[in-house]
Amino acid sequence: MKSLAIGRDDFKHIIENDSYYIDKTKFIEEILKDTSMVKLITRSKRFGKALNMSTLKYFFDIEKRKKI
Protein backbone atom coordinates (compact mmCIF):
# COMPACT_ATOMS: atom_id res chain seq x y z
CA MET A 1 0.00 0.00 0.00
CA LYS A 2 1.30 3.44 -0.89
CA SER A 3 2.12 5.86 1.89
CA LEU A 4 2.09 9.62 2.17
CA ALA A 5 5.58 11.10 2.03
CA ILE A 6 5.11 13.66 4.77
CA GLY A 7 8.25 15.64 5.55
CA ARG A 8 10.29 14.20 2.67
CA ASP A 9 12.36 16.58 0.59
CA ASP A 10 13.82 14.27 -2.06
CA PHE A 11 11.68 13.35 -5.07
CA LYS A 12 13.74 10.23 -5.83
CA HIS A 13 13.18 8.90 -2.31
CA ILE A 14 9.43 9.46 -2.62
CA ILE A 15 9.22 7.58 -5.93
CA GLU A 16 11.55 4.74 -4.93
CA ASN A 17 9.59 4.12 -1.72
CA ASP A 18 6.30 3.90 -3.63
CA SER A 19 4.79 6.92 -1.89
CA TYR A 20 2.15 9.24 -3.22
CA TYR A 21 3.30 12.51 -4.78
CA ILE A 22 0.64 15.04 -5.71
CA ASP A 23 1.58 18.52 -6.87
CA LYS A 24 -1.43 20.78 -7.28
CA THR A 25 0.69 23.93 -7.58
CA LYS A 26 1.55 23.60 -11.29
CA PHE A 27 5.08 24.58 -10.23
CA ILE A 28 6.84 22.98 -13.21
CA GLU A 29 4.35 24.51 -15.66
CA GLU A 30 4.91 27.95 -14.14
CA ILE A 31 8.70 27.56 -14.36
CA LEU A 32 8.46 26.54 -18.03
CA LYS A 33 6.17 29.45 -18.95
CA ASP A 34 8.21 32.07 -17.06
CA THR A 35 10.77 33.60 -19.43
CA SER A 36 12.75 35.57 -16.86
CA MET A 37 16.46 34.80 -16.52
CA VAL A 38 16.40 34.51 -12.72
CA LYS A 39 13.84 32.77 -10.52
CA LEU A 40 13.43 33.78 -6.88
CA ILE A 41 11.48 31.24 -4.89
CA THR A 42 10.40 32.55 -1.52
CA ARG A 43 8.41 30.45 0.89
CA SER A 44 8.23 30.02 4.62
CA LYS A 45 9.93 27.15 6.43
CA ARG A 46 8.53 23.71 5.62
CA PHE A 47 6.65 24.87 2.51
CA GLY A 48 8.36 22.54 0.05
CA LYS A 49 11.27 24.54 -1.36
CA ALA A 50 13.70 21.61 -1.19
CA LEU A 51 11.16 19.16 -2.61
CA ASN A 52 10.35 21.54 -5.47
CA MET A 53 14.05 21.88 -6.31
CA SER A 54 14.52 18.11 -6.12
CA THR A 55 11.50 17.56 -8.38
CA LEU A 56 12.90 20.03 -10.93
CA LYS A 57 16.30 18.33 -10.78
CA TYR A 58 14.82 14.95 -11.68
CA PHE A 59 12.37 16.44 -14.20
CA PHE A 60 15.07 18.19 -16.24
CA ASP A 61 18.04 15.81 -15.76
CA ILE A 62 17.63 13.06 -18.36
CA GLU A 63 20.37 10.88 -16.86
CA LYS A 64 18.77 10.89 -13.41
CA ARG A 65 15.32 10.28 -14.89
CA LYS A 66 16.54 7.04 -16.51
CA LYS A 67 17.69 5.75 -13.10
CA ILE A 68 14.38 6.32 -11.32
Residues belonging to the chain: 68
Tens of pLDDT along 12-50? 999 889 898 888 888 889 999 999 999 888 888 878 889
16 occurs within a structural domain:
yes
Domain extent for 34: 11-64
57 occurs within a structural domain:
yes
Query: Which DSSP string do the residues of 32-56 spell out, in sequence order?
Result: HH---S-------TTSSHHHHHHHH
pLDDT at 41: 85
Number of domains in the chain: 1
6 occurs within a structural domain:
no
Confidence of residue 64 (pLDDT cuts 50, 70, 90): low
